Structure 1
Amino acid sequence: MATVPQAWADLAFFHDDWPKIAARLADQDWLPGADRVFAALALTPPDAARVVLLGQDPYPTPGHANGLAFSVTPDTALPRSLKNIYAEMRDDLGAAPPNGDLAHWARQGVLLLNTSLSVLPGQAGVHAKWGWDRLARQAVARAQAQRPLAFILWGGHAQKALAGLPRDCDLVIESAHPSPLSARRGFFGSRPFSRVNDWLTARGEAEIDWTAGKG
């Protein structure tokens, strides 16, 4: 069974929902696997979270997902949405990371959660109704108890999933999803990375080094 990160272990989800989900996963060959399923929570404890970036579910291709929203293992070619994210970052900041592994964002306080943390190979969204979404809302609420947060909500799914949680003290950046189907409907040109950094700086906090590696 996957190890629950201690800093988040008292969330109601891990008492009420995780045992049932874990039992259903026990006889399935699922992704990203027990060693990576809670990677986002492990890398970004609640007292370190500064930015919330919500995805939908892990990539369904074996070897691609690494437990962080939008992120892939370092040797994986960039998925189309991540290509568009990096294109917008180059326009916004002048650079982008050298590969698709976003762990360096997570270590700086970017909570890279998906609303569903498991998937079957080749079957995107197959576990979307298993109750995983309750973890996302509970985790965000826990992080909010520590400080104001910057929310980057790309597309209707993320916006609906966290509806009602952002407060007046939080920064909320909403746009179209970076998917090739919607990126030109408001994602390109939205400059989320510099806007988050401007907000953090105004609060006296360190910026996120989004382009770590300067690829």
Structure 2
Amino acid sequence: MQSARLFKIAKDSAVRARTQTINQLKAVLVIADPALRERLSSLGNRELFRTCARLTPDQEEDAEDRDSVAEATRISLSMLGRRIEHLTGQIDALNQRLTRLLESHAPQLLEPVGIGPDSAVTLLMTMGDNPERVRTEASFAALCGVSPIEYSSGRRNSRRLNQGGDRRANAALHRNVFTRLRHDPRTQAYYERRTREGKTRREIIRCLKRYAAREVFNLVKTVSSDPPL
């Protein structure tokens, strides 16, 4: 688990740095020369970053204009674009390492729809280095912050989302549920059925996260007999 934890820390750092750099590049693009801005504004993100990384100084400018705002803008966009590409390469490499670790020690976690290597490692880290210490799927759901909480308005009793627990694990289950809603026919059918029963979207998402936690627990608890990541 320690190796996965270290790779996850490095990946999260690279993701944060890339997000910050993307925001900086787009801020610079706002003040770019109108002709350059118009040429770049129609590009999708991937092509935009690639094009910016390959910008070169304008060879047609006179020597005294080499320090102009337009030239500084091109150089800044180029440097930021190359930084984004470099960080993307790091993120991809770390994802590959996480995937290899999971394939070796917990391949069953990659089988369900919507669980990628990042979410799988997050849930394993929440479980701890000794998964057997969480003895029931109800305790794991509470640990992930997806166990329902009873509340009363005075007139009716209901349940609400749990705002406690490990928020990273909660976010991993949240991503899993929304991926399933897009791609898994069973989840889509369940959502439609509960909607017809009068359930709100929030109530259905809460139920789906609880079911996802149950499935993950049953998969994770088998890891305890394997060598640790």
TM range (shorter): under 0.3
Flag the structure with more relative contact order, 1 or 2, with Cα contacts below 8 A and sequence separation at least 6: 1
Given the two structures, how large is their TM-score scaled by the length of structure 1?
0.25
Report the structure number with the largest CA radius of gyration: 2
Given the two structures, how large is their TM-score scaled by the length of structure 2?
0.24
